[in-house]
Structure 1
Amino acid sequence: MLATRTRPALARPALLWPLGGVVLLLSIATATTIGPSGLGPSDAFAVTVAKLGGPESGLSRIAESIIWDLRLPRAVLAAVCGAGLALCGVVLQSLLRNPLADPFVLGVSSGASTGAVTIVVLGVGAGSVGLASGAFLGALLAFGLVLVLGMAAGGTTERVILAGVAATQLFAALTSFIVFVAADAEQTRGVLFWLLGSLSNATWREVVVVGACVLVGIVACLLTAAGLDAFMFGEDSAASLGVSVLRLRIVLLVVTALVTAVIVSTSGAIGFVGLVLPHAARAIVGTRHGLLVPTATLMGAIFLVWVDTAARVVIAPQELPVGVATALVGVPAFVVILMRRSRR
């Protein structure tokens, strides 16, 4: 009876993951065709094949540039960022045993914002350090502060969360102070748009960098899936099962911080993806991280591709910041999560 009951649950991911991969590829292909140019998914496929060494697409150079230089890297970067944010959400919610944790709970987003604003408004390191590099350095600085404060206070999960809250407020205040004191109107608008999340400046270089970091994060999480499963029963139970609690926590927090920092440095602050998508994935495949990690990353990638596409066209010719669009979708889902937890 036990084998009969568990077989459907084990067979579900075998069908879900290939289907999710196909849906993701179709979503990216469709997203590159949505807009005023009148292109179709077959055109996107033809251009991709041509750029990879295949036969000519037969399209004009302008049409090829629209697909290859503008829309396709943006759609792929949205998929990569969505996968990375969902991955970080899965890890933090399990590691911190907090179902409302998201990738920005460690102050990484606020630190990245401060680093970017320091470059843009104050001109610190201008010419040698770009906006993305400044955001990345700010994110690492914020995470280092959280790690030092959390470990100095005892290294427990609650202390790390409190240190993250403190760092978030500190760097948010610093960002507001710099903008209020030194920024002009044009700089303020540019910084605000970046802080709300934007994928409009996506390039293939950013796709490669972010994709490599997210891939490393996925591999690290899959290799430590058994330890994450043990954390669900508490730190003492995990230690009794032979898990090195402190080492695993530090390794995964570092991986999460690096992935989040790279994503924020290229796309700005995109909220609610790492909060909502892990819960949706758990509802489908359960809580085993060997199944949960790939499912959540696929769902996060598909979700952000379509949200970014909607953000491009919903108020055309203007563009809605993708962070605003994810919040409009994520807040109702967040309320549903709170209601379900209150009933329990």
Structure 2
Amino acid sequence: MTVATSSGAFGSPVLRSFVLKGAVGLVVLLLAILAGVVIGETPLPFHTVAAVFSNNLWNAGHAVDPIDAGIIWNYRLPRTLVAAACGAGLALSGVVLQSLVRNALADPYLLGVSAGASTGAVAVTIMGLGGGMIGISTGAFLGAALAFVLVAALARAAGGGSAQLVLAGIAGSQLFNALTSFFIAKSANAEQARGIMFWLLGNLSGVRWPDVTLALPVALAGCLACLWYARAMDAFSFGADAAAALGVPVLRVQLVLIGMTTLMTAVMVSLVGAIGFVGLVIPHAMRFVAGVRHGALIPASALAGAVFLIAADIVSRMLIPGQVVPIGVVTALVGAPGFALILIRKRSRA
């Protein structure tokens, strides 16, 4: 009996292909993480990185310079892991929003969710919202949820179409960006304003291990939730009415997925600021690679988003010697031309 017709665990060609692609994707992600640790303002050799990992994971006792050990374990590794989690979370958010609203331009940045999260985070840190009873991530979540509700209400009042939703999102982004600027101008001193404005463009410099313990579980939970509702998102490709006719509990699925998208966006924004184009470009690019079925598109987008943001972080550290460029600037420089190419290619296929 041939392997192709075997009833074993890996007998199916489709399953073998899925396992192979998953293994390749995992290797690519690990190599990207390794590159994020090795490459930086001060290049560190691989054997030093391996020694630091061995010392911290297995108490190997290798002799390593304490400064190099601190750079690797307490700075670059958590920074790279948070970049991977943020890239995956933002890409997944784009997949979900594009599926639910059936609009190729839907992503947390354009729909105003990121702007709302930024406003909520700034309101907590600068305005003292909550009197110290709520954290930055909670404030960002409340701001993101408020932004989505306002954008959805405005789109519904304007006719309820997907085009109206994107236009309402642009208006919402401008509103919440203006509120953020107002809060900074009203309550922040010059030094605080400089730091916050740099953070709002995307900044991983202050990331440490406690941020990893927040970002990674949220990104993993978002990925699992999206995979759980992958078939439902396939049904939403034909519209909410068609999904309901196929037996999908439309309201419940929408609430869960939008809630998870809001949570992922809020957490990532609270940690690294508002980063554009990841949720917009990555899902489109992965549709050319993995197809439109969400069972394959979701893990492919999460992986590509993670690798993309790690690469963008490396570029942000190396682009200008002695200075770190905001990571949002790098994603925009890459994402805007990339999205233009995707639009041109889609039009040529139409």
Asked if TM exceeds 0.5, the reply is yes
- Cα deviation, 1:65-121, whole Å, max 9, x if unaligned, reads 110001111011111111111111111111111111112344221112222333444
- Cα deviation, 1:1-45, whole Å, max 9, x if unaligned, reads xx9xxx977754432221121111112112212235442233223
Instruction: Judge which range, 306-315 or 136-145, deviates more.
Output: 136-145
Please state if 1:304 is matched with 2:301. Answer: no
**Aligned residue among 308, 327, 333 for 2:332:** 327
Aligned-partner Cα distance in 2 for 1:196–1:183? 17
**Aligned residue among 187, 194, 207 for 2:192:** 187
| Identical aligned residues as a percent | 52
Distance change (3 Å), C-alpha of 1:153 and 1:251: farther
Aligned-partner Cα distance in 2 for 1:193–1:103? 20
TM-score computed with the length of structure 1 as normaliser = 0.89
SS of corresponding position for 1:242: coil
Please state if 1:266 is matched with 2:249. Answer: no
SS of corresponding position for 2:52: helix
Aligned-partner Cα distance in 1 for 2:94–2:46? 32
SS of corresponding position for 1:32: helix
Distance change (3 Å), C-alpha of 1:131 and 1:241: closer
Shift of residue 337, structure 1, vs aligned partner? 2.1
Aligned-partner Cα distance in 1 for 2:137–2:236? 34
1:102 matched residue in structure 2:
107
CA contact under 8 A between 1:24 and 1:302: conserved in structure 2? yes
2:8 matched residue in structure 1:
none
SS of corresponding position for 2:87: helix
- Cα deviation, 1:239-270, whole Å, max 9, x if unaligned, reads 11111222211211111011111000001011
Instruction: Judge which range, 235-244 or 81-90, deviates more.
Output: 235-244
SS of corresponding position for 1:233: coil
Aligned-partner Cα distance in 2 for 1:113–1:24? 28
Instruction: Judge which range, 159-168 or 284-293, deviates more.
Output: 159-168
SS of corresponding position for 2:58: coil
SS of corresponding position for 1:100: coil
2:121 matched residue in structure 1:
116
CA contact under 8 A between 1:30 and 1:40: conserved in structure 2? no
Aligned-partner Cα distance in 2 for 1:38–1:192? 28
- For structure 1, the 5+ residue unaligned runs are none
Shift of residue 174, structure 1, vs aligned partner? 1.1
- Root-mean-square deviation (CA, aligned residues, Å) is 2.6
Shift of residue 220, structure 1, vs aligned partner? 0.8
CA contact under 8 A between 2:233 and 2:294: conserved in structure 1? yes
- Cα deviation, 1:161-205, whole Å, max 9, x if unaligned, reads 565444323212212223344444323321210110011111111
Aligned-partner Cα distance in 2 for 1:13–1:284? 13
Instruction: Judge which range, 63-72 or 178-187, deviates more.
Output: 178-187
| Matched residue type, 2:238 | F
Aligned-partner Cα distance in 2 for 1:164–1:250? 18
**Aligned residue among 257, 261, 277 for 1:256:** 261
Shift of residue 340, structure 1, vs aligned partner? 2.5
1:87 matched residue in structure 2:
92
CA contact under 8 A between 2:88 and 2:306: conserved in structure 1? yes
Aligned-partner Cα distance in 2 for 1:38–1:341? 41
Alignment of structure 1 residues 28-177 onto 2, 5 Å: 28-124=33-129, 131-146=136-151, 161=166, 164-177=169-182
- For structure 2, the 5+ residue unaligned runs are 5-11
CA contact under 8 A between 1:136 and 1:264: conserved in structure 2? no
| Matched residue type, 2:39 | I
Instruction: Judge which range, 184-193 or 91-100, deviates more.
Output: 184-193
Aligned-partner Cα distance in 2 for 1:36–1:272? 25
2:237 matched residue in structure 1:
232
